[in-house]
Structures are given as structure tokens and as C-alpha cells.
Structure 1
Amino acid sequence: MLIYGSQVMRGVMQEKTSKIVEILVSSVRPFHLMMGKILGIAAVGLTQFVLWIVLTVSIISFVAPMITDGGVEDMAAAQSELAQSPEAQNELLAAIDEVVNNINIPLLVGSFFFYFLAGYLFYAALFAMIGAVVDSEADTQQFMLPIMLPLIASMMFLGVIIKDPSGPIAFWMSIIPFFSPIIMMIRIPFDVPLWELALSMFLMVAGFIGTTWMAGRVYRIGILMHGAKVNYKVIFKWLMMKN
């Protein structure tokens, strides 16, 4: 999300600084121009993920038949000789095997594509808004931090979520759109209730609609502004302006 969102921001800045956007907006509405860039990069990202999945499955399908039962037994024997506590290792392997067997693979894959796309659209709209209000990449720092903090917090809380996937912290972070693309994907293998998943998805879609509305109102003004120093007060003023 961060990588593809940054591509959206840089693309918007490049069009703005090169004055190309002034030609484009003469034939297309600014909102449509912004959404075209966001959806175009989303298509590229999904294509890359599909190619990675196909390549991974192909490699596994090719390598798996080459691993014989004897080879697996030899590796298991070597590991057992090196292991200091075989009982603890067996318990750990049994626990991992139980978790893996209980994973709903179709749900996991479907949720992955949903949260990747929805999370990308959510954050890409914010990145497009940043690209529209600045004239250079150096000016983006003051606006980037509030967007990156939720992603950083999600990574910091991974240990807490894995330790207690049904706790209140896991629940609230998995339904708040700023955190849910990462946190909910961590919770799904632990048999998250379907109503929580549905609520998280609904709020994710609502969040995307909200950020897109905000970005659209700022984009239509900021994309044509050059040389002006923009701060949060100015952005709020643009949001409140009537059409």
C-alpha cells in the first residue's frame, strides 16, 4: 500500500510540476483524472500479485514431487538429533499444524485481495491529495507522517495481536480502516467471527469513500496551485469550500 500509494503521489506531483495537468483538466474532470491514476496503479499492483502467486504455485508444484519421503525422513532425523528438547519441538509442530489445518484458505485469499485493494484505494486517495498540494517531494514530509503512523502502529502491535487475536486491541484495530488492512489479515487465520470481518469490510469501504471524497475536493483546487505554501488549515478550508 505504501509503495503503490507513493507512486500515486509522485505521479500527481510530476503532472502538477510539469504543467501537464493544466492540459488534461481542460478535457476531463479533476476527480476523474485522480481516480484514473489511482485505479491504473491498482491494476498494476494486482497484476504483480497475481503473477507472484502463479510463479510461487508453479515453483511449489515443480519442487514438491522432487522431495521424496525418504528425504523428508532424513531431514526429520537430522533435526531430531540436533534438537535439544524433542518433546517441546513436537508440541510446537503439532500446534502449528493445528493452526494451519484450521485456516480457511478461500476466505484468506479472498480477504487478502479485498484488503489489498481496499487498503490501497484508502491510502492512495490520501497520497493523491498530498501530491496535489505540494510542489516538491521535500514538501511532503509534514503530510506523510500522519498517514504513515497508522501503518507503523500496525506493525508495532503485531506481536500483541498474534498473542491475543480476540482481545479488545485486536478487535478495534481490525475494524478501524487505518489499521484493518494489516490487522484483520493477521486475525483471519485465528478464526475471526464473520460479523467482525463483515463490519471491518463495510467500514473499509466507507473509509475509502470518505478519503476519496476528501481527496477529490482538495485535488481539484490544489492541482492547479503553484508556489503556494499549503498547511493543514488551508487544506481544511479547501474541504469546506462549496462547489
Structure 2
Amino acid sequence: MSKIWLIAQREYLTRVRKKSFIIMSLIGPLLTVALFAVPVLIAKMSDSGKVVAVADAGGLFAGKLPEAKDDISFTRVSSDLVTAKAEFNKAKYDALLYIPKLDISNPNGFQVFSRKGLGMALERDINRAVNNAVENQRLQKAGIDRTVLDNLKADVDLQTVSLSDEGERSSSTGISTGVAYAAGFLIYIFIFIYGVQIMRGVMEEKTNRIVEVVISSVKPFQLMMGKVLGIAGVGFTQLALWVVLSMGISSVMAGSMSPEKIAEDRMARTTAVARVDTPQDKSAKKENMMAQFTQALDNADLNVPLLVGCFLFYFLGGYLFYGALFGAIGSAVDSETDTQQFMMPVTMPLVLTFVVSQAILTTNPNGQVAFWMSIFPLTSPIAMMMRLPFGGVPMWQLGLSMALLIAGFVGAIWLAGRIYRVGILMYGKKVTYGELSKWLFYKG
């Protein structure tokens, strides 16, 4: 154990002292925030409030034009198409909607003019406004009051409750799905990023002949275990820094980048009314948002201690398991171009789990597919974390999954060590799967 600790310490200190680690630890949160903030900023800058001119020759909007909503508003122009086109070009409207004289039972002949093509969102909004107007006239012709029809529609607040041996427990499918995706995605990304680091580190030592000196003092199993644990420590350190810095940056930008703020800006541009919220209004909105979020979490009734503990276990266990396999690949080849034939079988279960989770695990978290994927060590790190937020996972399934993952990690380390002891001293030879199977049974 002392040798494993020394190797892990050396791997950890060597990497955390690099300038690239420090730079990425500081830039990583900015990139993470930018991933979400940049699209919002671009939409905010490009969203100038669309104005649609309406040439209503058919009298579809005889009463009044559609109300301004979000980033679109309507204005009336001449019902004559030629005159309306001239007004459209002169006023620089974003689109011109021409409504011909129509039969309300079979409406057709509508035209929308634009200078550079309509965007999908603008076309959808115009189409919705026309459809609503046609429906209103049909209802009026049939003697049906639109208000009465709208009142007949129901929007029931459905409260979900999970029944189990432990009793009743309220739940929230939306919150559970969000937590499941976040946990699965973090494990997925972490395994890929730092698993590849192990593979490249082993390849670098092999090509530089450093390992020939090291292997004379330690066993291949100890060297592989120390390398995997050391890089795991690097990953946890960087992840902790990213989480802390991301939370700080996100809290600073939350006020200016919130959806409520963007919606307010859109409405202000659309209605051309300058309205400034008082500090009391802003404080009330923040308190309302926090209250809604807290209420959603309370309704979800998540077992937070269990989720956090299991996340840390599968986060580390999944990395250690796959890290050993990536290390074995690195010891078997001489260059990254040769890794492709071995990377596919190792990464396919991981990719398949993440893809299947979106279609099956979150829709049926307690089905047979979810059960077997959460038990099998190659898929359990992501699959089990996708199941746990929904509840209903028996403790025996959770215990069996953890035990098999630990056994799989020990087996993967042993397997990687058997390949490692031969592969690190093998140069210039094209390795095949048949050759790897022979390495497993070499004596010595």
C-alpha cells in the first residue's frame, strides 16, 4: 500500500502543479457559464422586437389586431396589397401579412412577405395569430362564446405520490428527471475526460521508456492502481474547484441573465414603454422565484443524503473501473491512432447507457431494462444514478449494484495489470485481441 500511495501522490502532485491544470481550473467555470450564457446573450442582442404589418382585405381582424406577445407585435396598414407593400418597404417592418377576401369555412390565399426570409419563430407566431382569428370567427358564426369554451378547459395541478414499503412519499417527475440527467452527465463526462488522461499518461511513459525503470521496483498492479487513484484525485480537485467557482460566477450573473429579466426586456421593446422596477419589486421577484424553487424541491421529496452518497460512490467507482480499462489500452499500444480498435468496446457501454437513459431509464426507471443496466458494472454508474432520483429502488438492488461495481473495479485493475506488465515493454508490434488474450495467461 505504501508503494501505491507513493505512485498516487506522484501522479497527483505532478499534474496539479502544471500550469495547464491551474489555467483550466480557472477557465473551466467561465467556459461552463459561457456555454449557457452566450446563447442567451446572442438571443438578447438579436431580439429587437418583431413588428408585423397586417393588410386585412378580408376583415379577419376587423375588431382588433392580435395582442402583442413576447417579441412580436402587429400594426395595421392599407388593405390594398400594392399600397401595403409600399408602406412595408417604407416603414421597414419585419413582415407583411396579407389577408385576402375569404370564405371562413375554407380560408386560403394568405400571404406573408419578408425581405430576407422569415425565421421559424416569427412564422409560427403569425400562423398562430391567423389560426386563432379564424377559429374565433367560426365560433362566433356557430353561436359559441369563446370565453365559455376557454372556461371549459381544465388545467389540473396533479400531485404525484410514490407508494412503497416505507410509506407514501410525494414526488416530482420534473425535478427527478433534472437531477437524474445532471448526475448521469457529470459521471459520463468525468469518466471520458480523466479516463483518456490515464491512457495518455501510460502511453507517454511507455514511449519515453520511463516505465522500464519504474517497473523494476513495483508490481504492475501497484503501478496501475496508484496511477488510477492519483489521477482520480486530480479529477476530484478540479471538479471541486469548478463547482465552487461556477456557483460564484452563476450567482453574480443570475440577475442579468434570468429568464424573467429577458422577458421583461422583450415586453418593454414590444410595447415601447420604459418601465424600471423598484428595488422592492426586484426583491419580491427573487423571493417568489426562490419560493417556487423551494416548493418544487419540497414536492420532489428527494432523499438528498442517499443521492449525494450514491453519487460520490458511483462517480468514483465508475471512474476507477473505466480508468483501469483505459490504462490497459494505453499500455497495449504505441500511439493514439492504434487506440481506436480498443476504445470502441470499452466506451460503447458507457455511450449506450447515456443514450438509452434518455429513452427508457427516465420513462421507466423501475423496468427490467433499467434493473439490469443498473446492476451490470459497465453500465451501473450512470444507470443507477438515473434511477435513484425517482425512488423505488430496493436496497438489495443498490447493495448488489455497488458490490458488483467494486468487484468489477478490482477485476479490471487485475486485468489491466496483466496487460500492463507485458504491454509496457512491447514496442513496434501491432497488437490484436488474440495477442491480448495471450498476455493474460503469461506466467511471471
- Report the 3-state secondary structure (helix = DSSP H, G, I; strand = E; otherwise coil) of the residue aligned with 1:230: coil
- Report the 3-state secondary structure (helix = DSSP H, G, I; strand = E; otherwise coil) of the residue aligned with 2:348: helix
Deviations 1:73-117 (A, max 9, x none): 5x79xxxxxxxxxxxxxxxx99x9378632111111111111111
Deviations 1:125-168 (A, max 9, x none): 11111111101100001000001110111111112100000000
Unaligned runs of 5+ in 1: 77-92
Which AA in structure 2 matches 1:218?
Answer: I
In 1, the alpha carbon distance for the partners of 2:308 and 2:299 equals 14
- Of residues 63, 68, 72 in structure 1, which corresponds to 2:283? 68
- Of residues 227, 232, 235 in structure 1, which corresponds to 2:433? 232
Match of 1:8 in 2: 198
Q: 1:99 to 1:2 in 2, by over 3 A?
A: farther
- Report the 3-state secondary structure (helix = DSSP H, G, I; strand = E; otherwise coil) of the residue aligned with 2:440: helix
In 1, the alpha carbon distance for the partners of 2:216 and 2:441 equals 24
Which AA in structure 2 matches 1:51?
Answer: L
Match of 1:120 in 2: 319
Matches within 5 A, 1:162-201: 162-191=362-391, 192-201=393-402
What TM-score comes out, normalization by structure 1 length? Answer: 0.84
In 2, the alpha carbon distance for the partners of 1:101 and 1:37 equals 40
- Report the 3-state secondary structure (helix = DSSP H, G, I; strand = E; otherwise coil) of the residue aligned with 1:164: coil
- Report the 3-state secondary structure (helix = DSSP H, G, I; strand = E; otherwise coil) of the residue aligned with 1:28: coil
Shift of 1:232: 0.6
- Is 1:30 the counterpart of 2:220 in the alignment? yes
Q: 1:17 to 1:100 in 2, by over 3 A?
A: farther
- Of residues 338, 356, 362 in structure 2, which corresponds to 1:139? 338
Q: Is the 8 A contact 2:221 2:413 kept in 1?
A: no
Match of 1:204 in 2: 405
Which AA in structure 1 matches 2:347?
Answer: M
In 2, the alpha carbon distance for the partners of 1:220 and 1:135 equals 15
In 2, the alpha carbon distance for the partners of 1:188 and 1:50 equals 23
Q: 1:55 to 1:27 in 2, by over 3 A?
A: same
% identical equivalent positions: 54
Which structure has greater strand proportion? 2
Shift of 1:29: 2.4
Q: Is the 8 A contact 1:121 1:208 kept in 2?
A: yes
Q: 1:152 to 1:70 in 2, by over 3 A?
A: closer
Unaligned runs of 5+ in 2: 1-190, 256-278
Match of 1:153 in 2: 352
Q: Is the 8 A contact 1:99 1:190 kept in 2?
A: no
Match of 1:215 in 2: 416
Deviations 1:2-55 (A, max 9, x none): 111100000000110111111211222222222221111000111122223334
Q: 1:229 to 1:64 in 2, by over 3 A?
A: closer
In 1, the alpha carbon distance for the partners of 2:404 and 2:299 equals 28
Which structure has greater helix proportion? 1
- Of residues 210, 225, 232 in structure 2, which corresponds to 1:20? 210
Q: Is the 8 A contact 2:220 2:418 kept in 1?
A: no
Q: Is the 8 A contact 1:8 1:41 kept in 2?
A: yes
Q: CA RMSD in A?
A: 2.7
What TM-score comes out, normalization by structure 2 length? Answer: 0.47
